[in-house]
A and B are shown apart, each in its own frame.
Chain A
Amino acid sequence: MVSPGRHQKSAVAAALDKAKGAGFEVRPDKNGHRWGWVICCGCHGSFKVAGTPRDPDTEAKKILQFVSRHSNC
């Protein structure tokens, strides 16, 4: 069963877990195609996470790229 705060695509959910583990805020905020946000706690920059990405692996990669870009904030 998929819990309410968890992304339904497992690759994306895993990337969100890694973002959380790296100290980022993961905020579910469903609206249309949007699932929610990943927010850098250092600079407060935010990345929009898609709810139904056609390519979940790439969505996961983009989340991790955001985390890596903000790893020194």
Chain B
Amino acid sequence: MAVWSFTLVLNRAMTDADHDTFDHLDEFADGDVSTEDFADGRPTELICDPVEAPTLVEAVADVARRIRLIPGLRAVAARHDDMVTLGEAAQRSGRTRTSLDLLASGKRGPGGFPAPEWTTPGTSFYSWAKITAFLVSLGDEVEETSLEIVLADSLLRVAHEVENRKVHVTVEVLADLGLPVAV
């Protein structure tokens, strides 16, 4: 099955009690969901990688479901991190890893592949925004922000709003709105 990497923003900062619950839930035993907390009290972010699912939207939904097991926590937004390995860039761009390796090393293409933003022996991280700009200059049709992550983000925001306002939305309503749901 495909694996996905993405970041989810929670509705609030996780407390020590939230972390304790998280650390004991079997649903998080695999380590595919990590947490990043901020000292300024901003909501905690979930660094999700590698989440197995057929599609990115399903991977986001899976983590959104799991985080709801901790009372009061909700995922309310989704995005891609700009700092990527060439492997992640390959998945986002639709090119093969080999193709990006050749472009990055200058063995193929015009040269000028963006330099890594941060390197440590064995690992290099690139800016996805810069890679996108480079690939577009080669004629690739690639978006800096993928439609799938925008869709996942929109769905999380809708679910959060519906829950906040305690609106009852039936499957029939979703179908009337044009969503391809099974009624």
Q: Is the CB of A68 within 8 A of B117?
A: yes
Of B20, B81, B123, which one neighbours A64 at CB under 8 angstroms?
Answer: B123
Does chain A have a CB within 8 A of B96? no
Asked if B99 is an interface residue, CB under 8 A from chain A, the answer is: no
Interface mask (A33-62 → B, CB under 8 Å = 1, otherwise 0): 110000000011111111111110011011
* Contact yes or no, B120 A55, CB < 8 A: no
Q: Number of contact residues on B: which range applies?
A: 20 to 34
Interface residues of A, dominant DSSP: mixed
Interface of B is mostly: mixed
Pick from B27-35, B61-69, B135-143 the stretch touching chain A: B27-35
A66 touches B36 (CB 8 A): yes
Interchain pairs with CB closer than 8 A, number: 80
A52 to B56, CA, bound (A): 24
Tell me which residues across on chain A come within 8 A of B28, comparing CB atoms.
33
Nearest Cβ distance between residue A42 and chain B, in whole angstroms?
10
Within 31-72 of B, Cβ neighbours of A (below 8 Å) are at 31-32, 34-40, 47, 49-50
**Chain A interface size range:** 20 to 34
B37 touches A45 (CB 8 A): yes
Most buried by B among A18, A61, A65, A69: A65
A45 to B36, CA, bound (A): 7
B84 to chain A, nearest CB (A): 9
Ordered by A's residue number, 24 sampled pairs between the chains whose C-beta atoms are within 8 Å are A31-B20, A31-B24, A33-B28, A33-B31, A34-B19, A34-B23, A44-B39, A45-B36, A45-B39, A47-B35, A48-B35, A50-B30, A50-B31, A51-B31, A53-B30, A54-B30, A55-B32, A58-B50, A61-B85, A64-B118, A64-B123, A65-B81, A68-B83, A68-B117
- Residues of chain A touching chain B, judged by Cβ–Cβ distance below 8 Å, are 18, 31-34, 43-55, 58-59, 61-62, 64-69, 71
Chain B interface residues toward A at CB < 8 A? 19-20, 23-24, 28-32, 34-40, 47, 49-50, 81, 83, 85, 117-118, 120, 123, 125
